[in-house]
Structure 1
C-alpha cells in the first residue's frame, strides 16, 4: 500500500494563471508559500519559506482563477507529482508540483483581494447555506376521550 497525499495552508505568491485545454477544461497554476518559524540557539527568530507549484483542474481551477489573488490564504489538498525538464543551462532537473483536488479559501474578506474590482467576489470560504426556517410544529387537535372503553380489564 502507498499514499501520496499533501495538505498545505499558505499564501499565494502570485495571481493564478488560468488557461483552457482544447476540450474546454480549465487548468490553473499558482505558487503557494508556506512558512516555518523557530528560535535558534541564540533565541533569535528564524523563518524558512517553502514555495510550492500548485495546479488545479476543471471547475476547481476556474474557481481559483476567479476568486484567488496574490496574498490570498488558501488550504490545498492533493498529491505530489514530479516532472523532468532541461534547464537553460542544459542540465536535466526535476520539478515537483502539487496537483490539488480540494481547495478552501481562508482568511478575511479583504485577504489578498483587490478592492478596486467590485465585480468579483472576495476570496472567502463559501458560508454554509442558511438553514431553512422551520415552522413551529402544527398543533394536532387532541382526540376526545373515548367513552365506550371496556372496563373489563383483568387487573
Structure 2
C-alpha cells in the first residue's frame, strides 16, 4: 500500500530527447521533459487544450532503456513517484523542482510494455 501513497502516472509526449549521463560510480541517469495535454470545453463551448510540462528522471537500467528507445515527440506512459530536488539560486535562495522518478514506462505508439 506504500506505493499508493506517492504514485504518479502520466501519459504524454517527450519535449526533447532524453539527456543520459553515466557517472564515475557506474550509475546512469536519464532526464527529459514530458508534456501532458488536457482537452476540455470552456464556458463559451470553445475547445481548449491545456498543456502541462513535467520533469522526468530515471536511474539505472530504466535510464539506459529510455536513452535508447525514446526520442522527442514520442508518446509514453510513465509511472513513478513525485520528488522535489532542491538547489540554491545565484542569490542564495532555496529553490525546489518537482520531478517524477520513473519506476516503469510503456511506449504508447507500439503498445509494448518495457520491463526493467
TM-score by length of 1: 0.66
Shift of 1:23: 2.0
User: SS at the partner of 1:50?
Assistant: strand
Which residue of the partner structure matches residue 107 of structure 2? 105
Please give the alpha-carbon distance, in whole angstroms, between the structure 2 residues aligned to 1:126 and 1:46. 31
In structure 2, the residue matched to 1:76 is 78
Q: Mind listing any 5+ residue stretches in structure 2 that lack a counterpart?
A: none
> 1:48-76: per-residue Cα shift (whole Å, max 9, x none)?
11111111111111010011000011010
Q: Report how many residues are paired.
A: 112
**d(CA) in 1 for partners of 2:66, 2:60:** 10
Higher helix share: 2
2:24 aligns to what SS in structure 1?
coil
User: What residue is the counterpart of 2:23 in the other structure?
Assistant: 21
1:89 CA displacement: 5.5
- Give the 5 Å matches for 1:40-55: 40-55=42-57
8 Å CA contact 2:105, 2:113 repeated in 1: no
Task: Output the TM-score relative to the length of structure 2.
Answer: 0.86
Listed as ranges, the gaps of 5+ residues in structure 1 are 109-123, 128-155
Distance in 2 of aligned mates of 1:40 and 1:9:
23
Identify if the C-alpha distance between structure 1 residues 5 and 91 changes in structure 2 by more than 3 Å, giving closer, same or farther.
Answer: same
Q: State the Cα RMSD in Å.
A: 2.0
1:9 alignment counterpart: 11
CA distance in 1, matches of 2:90, 2:45: 41
Structure 2 residue matching 1:54: 3-state secondary structure: strand
Pick 1 or 2: higher relative contact order, CA cutoff 8 A, min separation 6.
2
C-alpha spacing 1:38/1:88, structure 2 compared with 1 (3 Å):
farther
Higher fraction of strand: 2
